[in-house]
């Protein structure tokens, strides 16, 4: 009997493998971290084979934990850190260089040069994205340009390129399937989000040959079947793939236009469903593909804004400043004071993302006095995490021309009640936290299940989703205005730094 969906959540710092049952609950999970590589300032890399090893080990561990027979797995879903790019040899499946991570800023000069050539408008019109080293195209171009024999292998048809989902699919199918879904493809700067196809003009701008790229497919399509995967039988369908943020939107069952979610992870990422309408942002957020389901002619779109540093700011308090010993300590420390005492912390440790797009912005802490202590800095950090999201959501509401009623939250930091109350206060909206905050895992599982009939419809999935807690604003409108004004002054200092 097919009882479970195997859901793989391949993230920026760790890989989580879960077994999800028909009620949408996680029966077992295994999470495993892997090395973060920083070859130069601003450069971030991962070893693809190490990532694959965490997937294989995760599958082994959860089957052992639960004594589950692999034959009980109906399908496999994949969700992944987006934009991170890998190039590998088609014959040996060996990567020709480390994966270049979405956080990596090595192609900043390339992006600036393309802007000077006048390509910004073309890229934005076709992709909904801005010209920024965040996205995959310049990363792929960098490998082709700097790694010996890369161009020759590409011309000879011996090279494959893609985001992490494509690499994992290749490994799961023993090289039989080279595909990606529309959501991941939309983050490369190479797919036209109107047609859902690789765009000839974009390929030319970024100098990426189409022959090395994966085939683009609907998010709940059957992408391939397992072959020679340790611990699994051959023939299990891989029937759901989505980038992590789109997967979280699906996992939060934000199926209607105007519904939005915020995932609190390494960064914080907000997506708002805009239906089948491609809303062109004039306010600094991105237009992206949310998903496409089998049998649907049109794709579902979203507005997206991301703050590069969210949970990573708490990690910096722990590892960089030594203010806390464990990330979980930050809530109690921040709650030990009633205010920041005028301290503002803009965590632009990797530049500023939406809606500012200032890659050269720097982190700043202002308002320090003799009375400032660990607690004030901790509270300012949590407030900054919430205030970054306010900036993004205001831009989205302006673009969409409507106010949202509430915001659904997920990710590790959404368990922090103080942070969630701050988010409700500064946004002036209701914050809804589901019982299952690992919604990236849920989204991949739901898509995979839909792909093979494990769940019959999105309506059935809607009934699976459950609320844990709601947070309502306790701040007056004038108090909210004063707080955001102070924040904006700090943002300006960050951009001028």
- Domain harbouring 331, CATH code: 3.30.420.40
- Select from 270, 250, 123, 96 the least CA-distant residue to 186: 123
What separation in angstroms does the CA of 2 have from each of 14, 343, 370, 484? Answer: 28, 54, 63, 51
Whether pTM > 0.85 for this model: the answer is yes
Q: Are residues 260 and 122 in the same domain?
A: no
What separation in angstroms does the CA of 342 have from each of 81, 235, 295, 333? Answer: 35, 60, 54, 17
Q: What is the mean pLDDT of each run of 10 residues along the chain (497 residues)?
A: 91 92 91 91 93 96 89 94 95 95 91 94 91 93 92 91 97 96 96 96 96 96 95 95 94 91 88 90 87 92 88 90 91 93 91 84 93 94 94 88 86 90 94 90 95 91 90 92 92 87
Domain count, the chain: 2
For residue 479, how far is the Cα from the chain centroid? 32
In whole angstroms, what is the distance from residue 497 CA to residue 364 CA? Answer: 8
What separation in angstroms does the CA of 470 have from each of 14, 52, 116, 316, 431? Answer: 29, 38, 47, 29, 6
The number of residues making up the chain comes to: 497
For residue 256, how far is the Cα from the chain centroid? 20
- Residue 159 is predicted with a pLDDT of 95
- Residue 400 is predicted with a pLDDT of 81
Q: Are residues 300 and 363 in the same domain?
A: yes
The region that residue 486 occupies, defined by phi over 0 for left and psi between -120 and 50 for alpha, beta otherwise, is alpha
In whole angstroms, what is the distance from residue 372 CA to residue 383 CA? Answer: 16
- Per the structure, the complete domain to which residue 387 belongs is given by 253-434+466-497
- Residue 433 is predicted with a pLDDT of 95
Q: Are residues 212 and 290 in the same domain?
A: no
Q: Are residues 338 and 235 in the same domain?
A: no
What are residue 30's phi and psi, to 5 degrees?
-140, 125
In whole angstroms, what is the distance from residue 262 CA to residue 379 CA? Answer: 20
Q: Are residues 91 and 173 in the same domain?
A: yes
Q: Are residues 136 and 14 in the same domain?
A: yes
In whole angstroms, what is the distance from residue 216 CA to residue 185 CA? Answer: 7
Q: Are residues 297 and 167 in the same domain?
A: no
Which residues have CB under 8 Å from 366's CB, separation 6+?
A: 343, 344, 490, 493
105 C-beta neighbours (distance < 10 Å), count: 20
Return the bridge partners of 86, or none: 162
270 and 392 in contact (C-beta within 8 Å)? yes
E-only strand ranges, 214-280: 215-217, 224-225, 237-243, 260-264, 268-275
Q: Are residues 358 and 491 in the same domain?
A: yes
- Select from 66, 73, 69, 60 the least CA-distant residue to 32: 60
Residue 461 lies in a domain: no
Q: Are residues 148 and 285 in the same domain?
A: no
In whole angstroms, what is the distance from residue 204 CA to residue 211 CA? Answer: 13
In whole angstroms, what is the distance from residue 65 CA to residue 58 CA? Answer: 10
Q: Which of 244, 264, 282 is the last residue of a domain?
A: 244
Residue 219: both structure tokens together: 């998010």
Q: Which of 198, 213, 244 is the last residue of a domain?
A: 244
- Residue 54 is predicted with a pLDDT of 96
């Amino acid at each position: 009997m097919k009882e479970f969906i195997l859901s793989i959540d391949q993230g920026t710092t760790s890989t989580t493998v879960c077994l999800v049952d028909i009620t949408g609950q996680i029966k077992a999970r295994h999470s495993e971290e892997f090395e973060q590589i920083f070859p130069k300032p601003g450069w971030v890399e991962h070893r693809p084979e190490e990532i694959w090893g965490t997937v294989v080990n995760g599958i082994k561990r959860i089957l052992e934990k639960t004594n589950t027979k692999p034959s009980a797995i109906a399908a496999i879903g994949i969700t992944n850190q987006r934009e991170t790019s890998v190039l590998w040899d088609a014959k040996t499946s060996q990567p020709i260089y480390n994966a270049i991570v979405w956080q990596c800023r090595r192609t900043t000069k390339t992006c600036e040069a393309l802007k000077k050539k006048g390509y910004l408008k073309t890229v934005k019109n076709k992709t909904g994205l801005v010209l920024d080293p965040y996205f995959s195209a310049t990363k792929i171009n960098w490998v082709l340009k700097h790694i010996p024999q890369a161009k020759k292998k590409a011309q000879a048809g011996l090279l494959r390129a893609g985001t992490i989902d494509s690499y994992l699919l290749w490994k799961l199918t023993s090289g039989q399937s080279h595909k990606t879904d529309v959501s991941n493809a939309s983050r490369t700067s190479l797919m036209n989000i109107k047609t859902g196809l690789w765009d000839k003009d974009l390929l030319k701008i970024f100098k990426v040959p189409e022959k090395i790229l994966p085939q683009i497919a609907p998010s709940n399509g059957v992408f391939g079947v397992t072959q020679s995967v340790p611990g699994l039988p051959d023939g299990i369908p891989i029937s759901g793939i989505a980038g992590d943020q789109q997967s979280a939107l699906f996992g939060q069952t934000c199926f209607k236009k105007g519904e939005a979610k915020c995932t609190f992870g390494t960064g914080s990422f907000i997506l708002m469903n805009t239906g089948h309408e491609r809303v062109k942002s004039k306010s600094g957020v991105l237009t992206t593909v949310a998903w496409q389901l089998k049998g649907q002619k049109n794709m579902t779109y979203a507005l997206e804004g991301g703050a590069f540093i969210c949970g990573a700011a708490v990690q910096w308090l722990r590892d960089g400043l030594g203010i806390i010993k464990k990330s979980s300590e930050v809530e109690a420390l921040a709650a030990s004071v009633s205010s920041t005492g005028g301290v503002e912390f803009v965590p632009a440790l990797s530049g500023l993302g939406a809606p500012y797009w200032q890659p050269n912005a720097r982190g700043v802490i202002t308002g320090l006095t003799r009375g400032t202590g660990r607690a004030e800095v901790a509270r300012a950090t949590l407030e900054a995490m919430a205030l970054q999201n306010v900036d993004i959501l205001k831009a989205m509401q302006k673009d969409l021309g409507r106010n949202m009623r509430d915001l659904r939250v997920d990710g590790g930091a959404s368990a922090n009640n103080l942070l969630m109350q701050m988010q409700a206060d500064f946004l002036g909206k209701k914050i809804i936290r589901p019982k299952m905050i690992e919604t990236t895992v849920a989204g991949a599982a739901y898509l995979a299940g839909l792909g093979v009939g494990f769940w019959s419809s999105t309506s059935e999935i809607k009934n699976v989703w459950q609320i844990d807690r709601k947070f309502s604003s306790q701040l007056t409108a004038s108090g909210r205005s004063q707080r955001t004004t102070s924040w904006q002054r700090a943002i300006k200092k960050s951009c001028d730094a």
